[in-house]
Structure formats: C-alpha cells, structure tokens
Amino acid sequence: MRRALSFGNSPPLAVPLRFFINVPVFAALAGALLLWAGPQAMASRWTPYTLALTHLLTLGVLASAMAGALMQILPVATGVSVLAPRLTSALVHALLTLGTLALAGGFLLARPLLFALALCALAAAFAWLLAACLGGFWRYRRAAAKEAAEVLSAVRLALAALFATVALGGLLAAGFAWPLPLPMALLTDMHAAWGLLGWVGLLVVGMAYQVIPIFQVTELYPRLATRWLAPLVFILLAVWTAAALPRPGGGLAPGRAAAALILAAYAAFASVTFYLLWTRKRPKADATTLFWRTAMASLAGCAPVWLAQIATGSDYSVTLGALFIAGFAWSAVNGMLYKIIPFLLWYHTQKDLAIALRIVPKVKDIIPDHIAARQFRAHLAALLLLAAASLWPGPFTHAAAAAFAFSAAWLGWNMAGAIRLYLRVRKEIALALVRS
C-alpha cells in the first residue's frame, strides 16, 4: 500500500478548509442543543431532540469533515481529484450547511416546509458531491496510484453507501414533509445502518489505511484487512437490508447474524488499529494518537453493548449511537484535524516560496501538541459523561452537554488560532517580499 503523498495535487486551501471549519461549529451547536433539551434528548432515539441532535452530528460534523477529507486526501493520497473542486466545494458546503440547519429545525419545530427545504438542499448537496467524485474517478482512472487501490476501494464503497443513505433519507424527509404511507421505522433503521456502518464507517476505514501509517508512523495495515474488510462490511450490509425487508415467514436470525458479523468486522479493525498505534515507532503518544485510541476503544465497545441489547431485550440504541457517532467517528475526526489543519496551513504558507523563510512556522508549532492534548482531556470527559447520560439521562445529561460543547468550542478556538497565525505569517511574507 502506498505511504507517500503527492502534495502537488492539493486543491486550494479554501476547498477543504470551509468544511473543516463547520466541524467544531456544528459540534458546539449540538452540545448547546443537548444542554437546552436536557434528559429528553437522551431518553429515546425517537424524540425530536434526539433526531435533531443526531443529524447535527452526522451531517454538520461528520459529513462536513468527510467531504473536506475527500476533496483533500483523495488527490494527495490516490491521484484522483473531484471534478471542479472550487465550485464543488462552495456549492456542496452551502447546501450541506443549509440542509443540516433546516433538517434540525424541522425536527424541533415539526414544520413540513423545513423538511421539504432540507430534502431539496441535502439531496442537491450529496448528488453534486457524488457526481463530482464519480466523475473524478473516471477522469483520473489512469492517473490513480496502483498502490492506493485499497484506499480507493473503501472510498468507492463508502460513496455507494452514501448513495443508499441519501436515498433512504430522502424518503424519510418526504414522509415528514408530506403524508405518505411509508414504513418510517424500517426506513429509519436502514438509513442509520447505511449512514453509520456504511458511509461513515467505511470512509474512516479507508482514510485510516493511509493516514495511520503516515501520520502515526506505524506499520502498514495487514493486506488481508485492507483487501477484504470494506467489501465484506458492504456485502453484509446488503444482506442485513434484504433480511430486514418484510416477507412471509421471515425471521430475525439472518438479520442478526449479518449485524453480528458487521460488528465483528469493525471490532477486528479496531483491534488491528489499536495494535498498530500501540506498537508505533514513536513510543510517546501525541494527542492524535490518544484520539485514535479512544475512537478504536469506542468502536470495539459497540459489539458488547449490542450483544447485551439482544440478550436482555433492553433498548441500548442511544448508547450505541453515543459510542459510534461521538466515541468513534467524532474522536477520529477530532484527532485527524490536529494533523490535517496544521499541515495544510504550513504547506500553503511555504509552497510558492523560492527560498525558505524563518518566519514560516514549523508544522508542530501551528497547533502545539500540548494544547491539543488538553482539549483531548476535555473531549474524553465529555465522552464518558455522554455514555453515562445514555444510560442514566437524569443526572448526567446537562453535564455531558456542557462538556461536549466546551470541548468542541476548544477545538474551534485552537483551529481559529492556527488560521490567525497562517494569515499573519502570509502578511509578513508579503511584506518581506516587497522589501526585498
């Protein structure tokens, strides 16, 4: 598998950065909503507050981060660029932001018009993103790095899962906007499965194949994992979907077997990743390493919680959501931002300079690791409180919400500081070049 990155293929800084800026903003907004809603938002997966909160996280935070990662990491790691990156970035970002806010508002206010607006905006955003990615795969099919085949395979499957997620979500939004006779509970389960276990999970897996060995200085993932994990999860999701459809004489066993195998596959990925991080060539763990370890522990924790739900008949869906969305995906995104943002700002500061200038900061000085590590501790406290709130909403929800919002705001502050440093250094470089 490829370890070298082709930074000359990087898009303009604004292309991924606008998506990355969305991440702490929507995370803090989700924390504020949880603080306002209180224990009701953690009591059930079906309350309007829970649905609004979930989509602020999955769309505003995770989809934004993943759209930015696709536009930045795909060309650098694989040689494949999305079509018209400047236009695609601007339009998808605007539509995704509008659609996320409209959807959250629709859940909170129960306004069909907001669901209709969300349907139009989000369908357009993801249709454009998918078309730009698929067009890029076709245009750059001969330029794609053969060493990145496993990354591209996981990304393609993640995009196919995104298509299923958007189609199912569109049906659900239409069901909220207009009185249509749709099986809303079944569609919701399928939408969540393809969105979380397909789109989010497979894209994180594909990105991990590249960023973990490079940024964490680990050994490569085993070829067995990189070749077969993503296709296996995708096939099992299709099997689970077919088993979930109502049919005469249909039982729960096939669907549960497929679900168990999916969780086992992700638990295996978590175990391998945790082992790679534990045996990395740099013995001292930096902040991003701690975020990734937390992400893998949370992902591995989903399997026993699901098994407990099956064994006891209790509903632990809120706990599963907290572990997967906040513990796994949000932790991985938070950690990756501490590597991606400083490097991007450093790269775009010095890439056009004919000579090295001392005023250009080192990558490690743009967001110092000790600052990121402090935010990690706040993040970990928020996750522990959130897990407790999913089991005992009354005593823990407000504390979890405050900690979550605080951690997200801290990430935003650190990112803002890095961007301010970038702008100041660019100004100093321009003045230095004029004087010379």
pLDDT the model gives residue 250: 60
The torsion of the CA quartet 354, 359, 363, 369, rounded to 10 degrees, works out to 180
**Quick one: tokens of 395?**
């005593």
159-210, pLDDT tens digit by residue? Answer: 999 999 999 999 999 999 888 888 999 999 999 999 999 999 999 999 999 9
Beta carbons within 10 angstroms of residue 242's beta carbon: 13
Cβ–Cβ under 8 Å, residues 210 and 2 = yes
Is pLDDT at 353 greater than 80 in this prediction?
Answer: no
Is pLDDT at 2 greater than 60 in this prediction?
Answer: no
Q: What's the gap between Cα 32 and its chain centre?
A: 20
CATH superfamily assigned to domain 7-435: Cytochrome c oxidase-like, subunit I domain (1.20.210.10)
Q: φ, ψ for residue 336 (rounded to 5)?
A: -65, -35
DSSP state of 249: T
412-426, pLDDT tens digit by residue? Answer: 999 999 999 999 999
Cβ–Cβ under 8 Å, residues 197 and 158 = no
Mean pLDDT of 264-291: 93
Of the candidates 435, 297, 290, 323, which has an alpha carbon nearest to the alpha carbon of residue 390? 323
Per domain, the residue ranges of the chain are 7-435
Unique residue bearing structure tokens 């959501």: 321
Cβ–Cβ under 8 Å, residues 404 and 30 = yes
Cβ–Cβ under 8 Å, residues 83 and 132 = yes
Give dist(CA 41, CA 393) in Å, integer: 8
Of the candidates 237, 105, 94, 238, which has an alpha carbon nearest to the alpha carbon of residue 173? 105
63-72, pLDDT tens digit by residue? Answer: 999 999 999 9
Cα separations in angstroms, 117 against 96, 104, 195, 315, 367: 11, 11, 20, 32, 38
DSSP state of 196: I
Output the pTM of the full model. 0.95
> If pLDDT is split at 50, 70 and 90, which confidence band does 436 have?
low
Supply the DSSP string of 204-223, one letter for each residue: HHHHHHHHHHHHTT-PPPPH
Cβ–Cβ under 8 Å, residues 306 and 312 = no
Unique residue bearing structure tokens 């496993």: 150
Give dist(CA 338, CA 205) in Å, integer: 18
Of the candidates 419, 423, 424, 416, which has an alpha carbon nearest to the alpha carbon of residue 25? 416
